[in-house]
Chain A
Amino acid sequence: DAKTTQPTSMDCAEGRAANLPCNHSTISGNEYVYWYRQIHSQGPQYIIHGLKNNETNEMASLIITEDRKSSTLILPHATLRDTAVYYCIVTHYGGATNKLIFGTGTLLAVQP
């Protein structure tokens, strides 16, 4: 599976949009981009995933560049409860039966 690179940490003001970048320059054509987050001492929570089109759900939006070498997770109105480590993971089709390899992620700290 392709490797991802994320900033170690980011700050965001409460109520503002949080934009979390991820580089995956070695992604292959059949690999998806998945985002999970982990709040302290809990299991990871699925956020969103995509192949090449931008995706949006009730939690977030995922913007994937045209060359698919990078993506951005957008939390439109960050709250204090969004403080967590956010993981960007690239894995083969569906990710359902394929293992997820977690990197170090981005620690997002939402400030009041």
Chain B
Amino acid sequence: GAVVSQHPSRVICKSGTSVKIECRSLDFQATTMFWYRQFPKQSLMLMATSNEGSKATYEQGVEKDKFLINHASLTLSTLTVTSAHPEDSSFYICSATDRASNQPQHFGDGTRLSIL
């Protein structure tokens, strides 16, 4: 079945650091990838949609200069949290799908980001 890998699974860093999270589709070409954020005891909140080779589309209220998304290949998207602060601490999850095969979205196992 479709596998989406996310790395790292957990990261702890100091305030002001920029953190990059990778999302890879391991056995299919991900023409579209999505990035979500989930705070404790809350549901997933969509942050942005990225299509391979084009700029990401951000949801209302999500700062595109704060959360940089790159989707340069059909198997890799990255989310960079720039100058992270404690309020950016959250569970970040990606999903991927192949537009051509119309697969349902498959999710990575998430990255727990803790900013001290």
Once bound together, how far apart are the Cα atoms of A45 and B93, in whole Å? 12
The B interface, classified by DSSP as helix, strand, loop or mixed, is strand
Chain B 80-116, CB within 8 Å of chain A: the 1/0 string? 0000000000010101011101111111111010000
- B34 x A105 contact (CB < 8 A): no
CB atoms of A43 and B46 under 8 A apart: no
| A43-B6, A46-B104, A102-B43 known; A97+B97 contact, CB < 8 A | yes
Which one of A43, A49, A103 lies within 8 Å of B107 (CB-CB)? A43
Closest to A34 in B: B104
Count of chain B residues with a beta carbon within 8 Å of a chain A beta carbon: 29
Residues of A within 8 A of B25 (CB): none
Contact A96 B102 (CB under 8 A): yes
Interface residues on A, range: 20 to 34
Residue interface mask A44-64, B partner, CB < 8 A = 1:
111001000000000000000
> A104 in the interface, Cβ–Cβ < 8 Å?
yes
- What is the distance, in angstroms, from A49's C-beta to the closest C-beta of chain B? 6
CA distance A36 to B43 in the complex (A): 12
* Residue A99, interface by CB 8 Å: yes
Q: Does B78 contact A (CB under 8 A)?
A: no
Tell me if A100 counts as interface (CB < 8 A to partner B).
Answer: yes
Pairwise interchain contact A96-B32, C-beta atoms closer than 8 A = yes
A86 CB, min distance to chain B CBs, angstroms: 12
Is B49 on the interface with A (CB-CB < 8 A)? yes
Cβ A99 vs Cβ B49 within 8 A: yes
Can you sample 14 A-B contacts with CB below 8 Å? A42-B109, A43-B4, A43-B108, A44-B44, A46-B105, A94-B102, A95-B104, A95-B105, A97-B97, A99-B34, A99-B46, A100-B34, A102-B36, A105-B43
